[in-house]
Amino acid sequence: MQENWRDIIADRLRERNKNESARFADIIHYNNRLFDTAAKLRQENLDLKIDRKIRDSVNVSGAGGGGGTTFGTDVATITNAQIQSLEKKVLAQQEELTDLHKRKGEHSQMVITLNQKLTELQRLLAEKERALADQTALCASLKEELDEMKASHVTIKDESLASQLRANTAEDKLRAVQDENTKLLNLLMEYKSRDAEIMNKENDKFVKEKKARIESELERAIRDIPGPSSIGADLDRFDVDGLPEGVEFKFDAHDGEVNAVRWSPIERIVATGGADRKVKLWDVGKGVCEQRGVLVGSNQGINSVEFDTTGSMILAASNDSASRMWSVVDHRLRVSFL
């Protein structure tokens, strides 16, 4: 590759030299012609010098002898004519030589100018060659970077495809998990609904059994009550004012059935639990029934309530097989037993 571009540059230099030489062809031709003319003029000048010496010798010989007067006169006439002709030629040649010298000076100046331009062009060519070498190196570097980027692009593309496949696989797994989760939720809801139905049935059964038990106990109590003749002798042993003569408080404690009632051991507080999943506290110490708080947190109906010995905590059992404990003061759920 390096020898190749060197050959290309050499060919371009030869072509440039050829083109530049073609521009100066006329100058070179006139210069060669000038040298030829100068050589010719030197030869003619030499011939004139020879003729002049011959003429001088003839004149001397004519002056020495009388017999040769006529011949000397003819030779002088011929020589004068040749001298005049040669002087004309010399003047013409001198004029042409002056013109050629003038043109030579112009051409020399042109050659100097062209040499300066050639030097400038050579300098520009060297700069262009350096720039071309830099650009070639930069092109090679960019090509290497491009190859690396192509390789990186292929790698990234492969990684992207692999990531896409992993993402698709993860989406399929997620979809399968979501479907399974939906099935499990539906199954759980079904189980919960079944459990709720079972607990509701058990609650209804318990309520019915409790109601039947209370009714049977009432019936037995009614049957066990003695008549007026049997209790007449024992009336002196009872305080008539201590027997309840009617209902002292009657209020709607819950939305639905009331399943449990318990007195507080230290205050005139009554706790009630009902089918609405709430435990309510009632103050009956002021002659009226006033609600003191509502304890929430149960998932099913309340079937039993109980205070501790200090009256500060209350425990309730519900139909979801759980027991929960609240504080009476702030009505907060403290413990949940499942």
C-beta separation of 72 from 58 below 8 A: yes
| Domain that residue 262 falls in | 258-337
Q: What is the pLDDT of residue 68?
A: 47
Q: What is the pLDDT of residue 2?
A: 52
Q: How far apart are the first and last CA of the chain?
A: 87
pLDDT, tens digit, 9 for 90 and up, residues 189-234: 888 878 778 877 877 787 788 888 888 888 877 776 655 444 444 4
At residue 271, φ and ψ (nearest 5 deg) are -105, 135
Q: How many residues does the chain have?
A: 338
- Eight-class DSSP state of 240: G
- Has residue 319 been placed in a domain? yes
Residues 6+ apart with CB under 8 A from 31: 104, 107
Q: What is the pLDDT of residue 77?
A: 59
Structure tokens at 307: 């205070």
Q: What is the pLDDT of residue 235?
A: 40
DSSP string, 131-198: HHHHHHHHHHHHHHHHHHHHHHHHHHHHHHHHHHHHHHHHHHHHHHHHHHHHHHHHHHHHHHHHHHHH
- Has residue 44 been placed in a domain? no
- Residue type at 90? V
Structure tokens at 161: 């495809």
Q: At what angle do helices 2-23 and 69-224 cross, to 10 degrees?
A: 140
Q: What is the pLDDT of residue 36?
A: 84
- Has residue 234 been placed in a domain? no
- Has residue 132 been placed in a domain? no
Euclidean distance between CA atoms 79 and 48, whole angstroms: 11
- Has residue 86 been placed in a domain? no
Euclidean distance between CA atoms 240 and 133, whole angstroms: 130
- Residue type at 164? Q
Q: How many domains does the chain contain in total?
A: 1
- Has residue 152 been placed in a domain? no
CATH of the domain at 297: 2.40.10.480
Q: What is the pLDDT of residue 228?
A: 46
- Has residue 192 been placed in a domain? no
Euclidean distance between CA atoms 37 and 30, whole angstroms: 10
Q: What is the mean pLDDT of each run of 10 residues along the chain (338 residues)?
A: 72 82 76 82 80 71 51 56 75 81 82 86 90 91 92 91 92 92 88 80 80 83 60 43 62 85 88 91 83 88 91 90 89 85
Q: What is the mean pLDDT of the chain?
A: 80
Residues 6+ apart with CB under 8 A from 58: 72, 75, 76, 79
- Has residue 323 been placed in a domain? yes
Q: What is the pLDDT of residue 162?
A: 92
Q: What is the pLDDT of residue 308?
A: 92
Q: What is the pLDDT of residue 58?
A: 62
